[in-house]
């Protein structure tokens, strides 16, 4: 089953829409499908197989067989590295096509999808291609004359991976690349809202030469396919990115099934602080990027802004101008940076948050409405001023282009405000004072602190949360270690056991 899609400039493309198990395309066993939409028009793009527990089970069997035969400790690190490089090359070859597919399914600007999301995906695969064979244990001296003690970092096994819709292909890469480098096999469930690039990549998995069963993809809903992954008795680890509520459900399912390892990358309500000594023009640009990039559908978006009293008016007029200059529009247009939100439900949720902020006393500095020029799921870039710590818009993750702004007067006061959150994914401070930057970055409770910039990530830099923002790390050396399990080997060469002890 393939869907015929109209992509940019009337180009027609065939896109696979079934489950991908053991390097084969198969319908869901019960034959059911779900619709996937274009968020910029609200129109249906394709029907996709709706995998459920039985399909997940078939995928796990294939992944286990591969782990025990062609992959895991039965594969050479050099081969895993070469295959990852080959896959990166194929994605680079198809970058335009994949960019269009990502754009039509997620609503993001095609240029952004192609150059940033897919560019970073290629970089991530190449980064982890370099890690295969460099994941090493240690030798430990306990009694060097009689025993050899060492650790190995073994691949953890069959990994379930459940990913969201905000960065479909990048979240695929963040999970697939380190898992394959470590020697794990995969059962992946893309979001039901954005399954198309994860499926298109399966053809490249085959073309690159990965053995059957190493990567399996089961599209479907969270409550069915996702739940089957998190509760499966033969999955050794589940890696998830998405909401806190779903993260909790997955952790419970993991605990109640086989106690599989869980890593979670959840939401955020990340604070940015603007001190008077900052370069205000630059701080406004980074802050606008931090909250409006990807139309605010970003787990580490800088959504709470604290601006010092002394520069408040000057900074806010710069920031409002940046919000008004956001290039929102048709995702096919190369000039477009930010497109619609993912769904009508997400748009309505964001608009409700704006209403709730206003009803609790916030003032709309700009935006606040649906984007009037389209039937897609657009919301204007929005800034709410006069926000107070108790407000829902300050406490909760909105996941849309909405910035909540408050004033502060002292460093001590703003640190309390910034850390007053159940989340701890990102944080930023803008200051021209290096001592202040050091003090403040040390005190901010977040997995990533940016100083005089916002939101930049790199495959080599670990990413993850404090508090309710998650467990474990992705990217960097930490990312590959999350797919390994430590084994200690105590090898006795010449120690003799005197008996009885």
192, 265, 380, 474: which one is catalytic?
A: 265
* Residue 117 binding ligand NAD, by CB under 6 A: no
Residue pair 224/37 in contact (Cβ under 8 Å)? The answer is: no
Dihedrals phi, psi of 16, to nearest 5 degrees: -70, 145
Residue pair 217/19 in contact (Cβ under 8 Å)? The answer is: yes
SS3 168: helix
Q: How far is residue 328's CA from residue 257's CA, in Å, rounded to a whole number?
A: 45
State the Rg of the chain over Cα: 24
* Residue 377 binding ligand NAD, by CB under 6 A: no
When the beta carbons of 51 and 72 are compared against ligand NAD, the nearer one is 51
Q: Which of 267, 302, 340, 357 binds ligand NAD (CB under 6 A)?
A: 267
Stretch that binds ligand NAD, among 45-53, 110-118, 203-211, 217-225 (CB under 6 A): 217-225
Tokens found for residue 94: 């198809």
Beta bridge partner(s), residue 485: 154
Stretch that binds ligand NAD, among 85-93, 158-166, 326-334, 490-498 (CB under 6 A): 158-166
* Residue 227 binding ligand NAD, by CB under 6 A: yes
Q: How far is residue 370's CA from residue 434's CA, in Å, rounded to a whole number?
A: 41
Q: What number of H helices and E strands is found in the chain?
A: 16, 24
Stretch that binds ligand NAD, among 79-87, 244-252, 332-340, 427-435 (CB under 6 A): 244-252
265 catalytic, yes or no?
A: yes
Q: Which of 99, 222, 447, 455 binds ligand NAD (CB under 6 A)?
A: 222
- Interactions with ligand NAD, residue window 383-422 (CB under 6 A): 397, 399
Stretch that binds ligand NAD, among 16-24, 86-94, 236-244, 490-498 (CB under 6 A): 236-244
Number of residues that bind ligand NAD (CB under 6 A): 26
CB 260, min distance to ligand NAD, A = 13
* Residue 172 binding ligand NAD, by CB under 6 A: no
When the beta carbons of 75 and 106 are compared against ligand NAD, the nearer one is 106
Taking each helix axis from N to C terminus, what angle separates 168-182 and 119-129, rounded to the nearest 10 degrees? Answer: 10
* Residue 38 binding ligand NAD, by CB under 6 A: no
Three-state secondary structure string covering 336-402:
CCECCCCCHHHHHHHHHHHHHHHHCCCEEEECCCECCCCCCCCECCEEEECCCCCCHHHHCCCCCCE
DSSP 8-state class, residue 463: B
DSSP 8-state class, residue 338: B
Please give the positions annotated as active site: 265
Q: What residues make contact with ligand NAD under the rule CB under 6 A?
A: 162-166, 189, 191-192, 221-223, 226-227, 230, 241-243, 246, 249-250, 265-267, 299, 397, 399
């Amino acid at each position: 089953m393939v869907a015929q899609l109209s992509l940019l400039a009337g180009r027609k493309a065939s896109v696979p829409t079934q489950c991908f198990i053991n390097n084969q395309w198969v319908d869901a066993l019960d034959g059911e499908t779900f619709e996937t939409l274009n968020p910029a028009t609200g129109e249906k793009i394709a029907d996709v197989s709706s995998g459920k527990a039985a399909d997940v089970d078939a995928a796990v069997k294939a992944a286990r067989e591969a782990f025990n035969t062609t992959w895991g400790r039965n594969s050479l690190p050099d081969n895993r590295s070469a295959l990852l490089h080959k896959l990166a090359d194929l994605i680079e070859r198809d970058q335009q096509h994949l960019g269009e597919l990502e754009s039509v399914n997620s609503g993001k600007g095609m240029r952004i999808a192609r150059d940033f999301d897919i560019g970073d995906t290629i970089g991530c695969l190449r980064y982890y291609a370099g890690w295969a064979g460099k994941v090493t244990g240690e030798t430990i001296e306990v009694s060097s004359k009689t025993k050899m003690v060492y650790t190995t970092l073994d691949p953890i096994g069959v990994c379930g991976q459940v990913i969201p819709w905000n960065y479909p292909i990048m979240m695929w890469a963040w999970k697939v690349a380190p898992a394959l480098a470590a020697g794990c096999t995969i059962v992946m469930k893309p979001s039901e809202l954005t399954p198309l690039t994860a499926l298109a990549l399966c053809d490249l998995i085959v073309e690159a030469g990965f053995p059957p069963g190493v990567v399996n993809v089961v599209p479907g809903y969270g409550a069915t396919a996702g739940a089957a992954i998190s509760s499966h008795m033969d999955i050794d680890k589940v890696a998830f990115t998405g909401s806190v509520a779903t993260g909790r459900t997955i952790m419970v399912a993991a605990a109640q099934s086989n106690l599989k390892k869980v890593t979670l990358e959840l939401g955020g309500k990340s604070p940015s602080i603007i001190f008077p000594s900052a370069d205000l023009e630059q701080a406004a640009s980074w802050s606008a990027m931090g909250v409006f990039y990807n139309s605010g559908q970003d787990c580490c978006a800088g959504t709470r802004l604290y601006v010092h009293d002394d520069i408040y008016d000057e900074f806010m007029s710069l920031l409002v101008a940046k919000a008004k200059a956001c290039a929102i529009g048709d995702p096919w247009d190369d000039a477009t940076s930010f497109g619609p939100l993912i769904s009508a439900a997400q748009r309505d949720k964001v608009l409700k948050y704006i209403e709730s902020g206003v009803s609790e006393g916030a003032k709309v500095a700009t935006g606040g409405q649906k984007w009037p020029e389209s039937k897609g799921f657009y919301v204007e870039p929005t800034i709410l001023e006069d926000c107070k710590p108790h407000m829902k818009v300050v406490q909760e993750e909105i996941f849309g282009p909405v910035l909540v702004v408050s004033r502060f007067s002292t460093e001590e006061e703003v640190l309390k405000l910034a850390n007053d959150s159940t989340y701890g994914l990102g944080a930023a401070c803008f200051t021209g004072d290096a001592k202040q930057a050091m003090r403040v970055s040390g005190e901010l409770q977040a997995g990533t602190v940016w100083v005089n910039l916002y939101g930049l990530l790199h495959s080599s830099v670990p990413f993850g949360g404090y508090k309710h923002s998650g467990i474990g790390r992705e990217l960097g050396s930490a990312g590959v270690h999350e797919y390994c399990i430590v084994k200690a080997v105590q090898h006795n060469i010449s120690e003799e056991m005197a008996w009885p002890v």
